Amino acid sequence: MDKSKPAYGQACTHCYKAKCRCVRTTSGGTCERCLRLGKRCQPSGSLRRRNVHTAEESDARISRLEDKMESLLSAMQSFIGSPVPNGHGISSHPTHLDELSVSTTSNMRLGEPTFAGDSSATVSPNPNPLFLSPNHPEFPHVPWPDQADERVAYFCSRMLPYFPFIHFTPDMTSGYLRQNRPCLFQAIKTVTTFSTQERQVQVEQLKRLLFTSALLDVQSNIDLLLGVLTYLAWSTDAFLGRADLVSRLMMLAMSLVYDLRLFKPSSPDVQVMMTITQGRADDNSQNPDDETPYTVLERQRAVLACFILSSNISSHLGRQDALRWTPQMEEALQVLTLNGSCPSDRLFVLQVRLQLLKQNADHVRQQDDTDSTRTATTSSASAPHLLYAKALRRQLHELGASFPPDLQQIDILKTHAQYVELYINQLAYSISRDCLALGHTVQGAKSDTVLGFQRLECLWQSVENIKTWLDVFYAIPCSKLVGQPFHFWSQMILNITLLKYLSTLQDPEWDCQAVRNTVDLVSTMDCMLQKLDQTSKEPELQCNDHLLTYLTKLLTKCRQWAEARLNMASRGMETPCQNDTTSHNHHIPDLDQIVWMQSMDLGDDQWFDSVLSMPTFS
């Protein structure tokens, strides 16, 4: 028998806790491991006897412990870090849970817990001072719900105000959400995780929860709908090559709107048919006796939010149509307009109104595309469409004049309004361009001159819209930019893309130099890069893989492209040609038909090479 190895149950305290072999030195006063680590070697307080339970009892105990361990690890992954007393940020740094889970799971499988005081355990430092690791010595016993409350509070104060489609009451704490709104709770945890790598862990948990609720359990409830809408509103997937997920979740949200009868309650015929065929009434129908003013407004906000998101995602991805506008939705909007119980409804109502104007313009474009495939006689319907586009612009200006000057989010409304007007202007531009190309008449008279002037007017108004959007963007505080929803960043990319086209449009009647004098493409990139760099210094963005990191990469690449292209133009290497229909800047595409935006993957260098390849100088 090896005398250097103590008998079972007589290992020193440190080796026992670390589950390491305890080998005594020749002197016998200490063990080799404690001597190597410079620790004080202390024998166990008492002898440990071997487990005398039967194999079945032991297996059952181990199984229970493993189940508890899985729940603990899931909770640890959900609530990473704990706030210092004055912290206001969200942890965005990994805490090496994988390493922790391996060692801890190994110990738990043996039915022996891992002690917080085990000096052999490795505690990874957290570089973010706002949130410390659960094992941090200063906060060894901070309960998990405090972290969840911090995330919910951050979401309500720093993100939701810019797209307020949910009204949080004081009693809607993290505990309440975890118990009554698990999908919404998980979605909030996901969107308040700014590190892309860490967010993926939360996304997978959210996907499993949504899959189980929507498909396995075949549920349709307001929690499921709000969870999907919350994730879509602040999702970064469309920028990182995961447009498929965005598209499918949007379709899920739209199907839930129909399943929940948010447009109108089920008819008596539907109720009878459900009872006959399935032995029960329609579970998704709303019982008036169960409704409260809060639940009514909650559903109305949800369906209107679904309309906005479907409209934005439809334009960005080009894969599906937006949720159609109905009289019931107009009624819901009127109710929110008159309701005074929630101050944030003022902003939300205006956001819906703005998006409705944009969607009406999109409807005109789709009609014009359909007309253009018909005969020349019927295609003259483009002229009324052009007049309707002007009417939409007038309605937009009237709506903009009604913006409350005391609204804290007035800058967000202004950027949204400039985007909508940009969309309407580009609609009018495409209609007038097509009319000129086909030799259409307006009110029975040939008017190439009028159409040509209108076309140029639309283009120049687009330049003014972009300039105004950028001016408002520069004035937004960095702390506000962090919590902006998906469609804000989509608008930013769209503005830059259109500015690139307007700055390099090869048309003999268009003055590119005047565009550059008004909004210089290269200097605009520099200013935006500076703004994103300042915003990246916010406490919650202290990681190297948040969304603004990828947007910075995009703007840097765009700046390189613009500088190279403009240098070529200044050296006379590009000559505008009226008949050059193959030139890639001979015309401006429709804003919701830009293919490279629909396939965007800012984390893939190959995507950048294929989309923003540098022009050659040969």
Q: Which two tokens stand for residue 545?
A: 């893989």
376 in helix, strand or coil? coil
In Å, how far from its chain's centre is CA 87?
24
The whole-number pLDDT of residue 276 equals: 53
Whether residue 566 contacts residue 560, with contact meaning beta carbons closer than 8 Å, is answered with: no
Query: How many C-beta neighbours within 10 Å does residue 23 have?
Result: 15
Strand pairing class (82-83; 441-442): unpaired
Q: CA–CA separation, 51 vs 71, rounded Å?
A: 26
Instruction: Tell me which residue has tokens 């609720």.
Output: 213
Average pLDDT per block of 10 residues along the chain, 618 residues long: 54 80 81 82 60 55 67 58 41 39 36 34 36 35 57 95 95 92 96 94 95 92 97 96 94 94 60 49 50 90 97 88 91 91 94 96 75 47 76 94 92 96 88 62 49 81 96 95 95 93 87 92 95 95 94 92 78 45 58 80 87 49
| Per-residue confidence (pLDDT) for residue 584, from 0 to 100 | 47
- DSSP of 246-302, one letter per residue? HHHHHHHHHHHHHHTTSSSPPPHHHHHHHHHHHSS--TTSPPGGG--HHHHHHHHHH
The two structure tokens encoding residue 62: 């181990």
Compute the CA torsion angle 522, 528, 530, 536 (nearest 10 deg). Answer: -150
Q: Read off the DSSP letter of residue 43.
A: B
| CA 471 to centroid of chain Cα atoms | 24
Based on DSSP, count helices (H) and strands (E) in the chain, helices before strands: 24, 4
CB atoms within 10 A of CB 369: 13
The beta-strand segments (E) located in 39-168 are 82-83, 131-132
User: What is the pTM for the complete model shown?
Assistant: 0.72
pLDDT at site 618: 28
Q: Report the pLDDT value the prediction gives residue 430, as an integer from 0 to 100.
A: 80
Domain 1-50: which topology? CD2-Gal4 (4.10.240)
In angstroms, the CA 242 to CA 240 distance is 6
Residue 52 has, within 13 A of its CA and on its CB side, a CA count of 2
Tokens of 472: 């408002």
Alpha carbon 226 to chain centroid distance?
14
Among 425, 363, 353, smallest CA distance to 395 is for 353
pLDDT at position 68: 66
Determine contact, residues 250/237, Cβ cutoff 8 Å: no
- The beta-strand segments (E) located in 126-262 are 131-132
| Tokens 């259409």, located at residue | 440
Model pLDDT, residue 30: 85
Contacts 24+ apart (CB under 8 A), 112-121: 112/19, 114/17, 115/17, 116/140, 118/14, 118/17, 118/18, 119/14, 119/37, 119/39, 120/14, 120/17, 120/18, 120/20, 120/37, 121/18
In the chain, list all ranges with CATH 4.10.240. Answer: 1-50
* Cα three-residue angle 290-295-298, rounded to 5 degrees: 160
